[in-house]
Amino acid sequence: MKHLRHLIEYGLFRVVLFFFDSLPYTFTCMVARGAANVWWLFDRKRQIVGRDNVIRSGIETDPKKARAIAKKAAHHMAIVVVESLRSKDFLSDEDTTDHLVLDIKPDVLAVMQDPEQSLIIASGHFGNWEVAGHWVSRFKPVAGVTRTMNNPLIESIVKKRKSRFRFRPIPKHDSNMGRFLEVLENKEFLALLFDQHAGEYGMMIDFFGHPASTFKTPPMLHLVTRTPLCFASCRRIGPMKFKICTSSLIHQPRSGNKNEDLKAILGSLNRDLEAAIRKDPTQYLWGHRRWRD
């Protein structure tokens, strides 16, 4: 029965994928927004979480306006799926100037272009992180943590599409830390999203002025391996047009107090993410329960 369900899901997914690949971009975005509206209508819990998170961040204090931001963010996430599926339409071209505006700090660009250097790229669920990862893979292979699909047939398709951009997924629940070290030893890029609730494994760091459990992996790897670390974001600035920005390389000398060093780096990353979100709050994943107190 489970195999039959997987086959049915796979068939439906292939049909959806065919239409997403074949139909005009504006039409697929309209369909995606419609699907997001249906989800928004029925998922009352996420409506409340999204609205309350916007208010807690201080970006908007009026509940109606905060709810509107959270709803637009739901539309945004649906369009992220469309953009990620269609990114080959423009990222495969040699000239991407019609679709990408780049603000890459010189020290980060130097590391990207150095064949003997790896790089840890920390980001959040803002804008389209998939497009950013695909663009970065022009320099060298990129590995990133992804959640494995419940359906292995669909998982196979997703992996094949991502591999076209030299992107290698690392299973989210693989507990082997050596997977990250291997990427860095191979002089590849390691892209990590650090802004989801980390639970007992995280460190409490202020996010929009409120403590939130934050993943320690990016700064820990930086401190242990001395691999360069930066923050990056990819904000949509028009239909299939994005601005990719990075911070300068983060330099945190070892003070002898590991926890203080981790806090300093995570605080810097959270502030960079906050600044990116403030540029367009409708492009952030407000529906996630970032704060749990």
pLDDT at position 160:
66
Pairing label, strands 241-246, 229-238: antiparallel
- All residue ranges of the chain with pLDDT < 50 are none
Looking at residue 134, its pLDDT comes to 86
Q: What is the sign of the dihedral through the CA atoms of 280, 286, 291 and 293?
A: positive
pLDDT reported for residue 154: 61
pLDDT score, position 271:
98
Locate tokens 């403030």: which residue?
A: 278
Q: Render pLDDT for 159-187 as a digit per residue (tens, 0 to 9).
A: 666 555 577 777 766 656 788 999 999 99
24-63: pLDDT as tens digits: 888 888 988 998 998 899 999 999 999 999 999 999 999 9
User: Do residues 85 and 21 make contact, with C-beta atoms less than 8 angstroms apart?
Assistant: yes
pTM of the model: 0.90
Q: In the chain, where are the structural domains located?
A: 1-279
Is residue 107 packed enough to be buried (19+ CB in 10 Å), middle (13-18) or exposed (0-12)?
A: middle
Question: In which residue are the tokens 């299939």 written?
Answer: 240
Q: What is the pLDDT of residue 3?
A: 66
Residue 195 neighbours by CB distance under 10 Å: 22
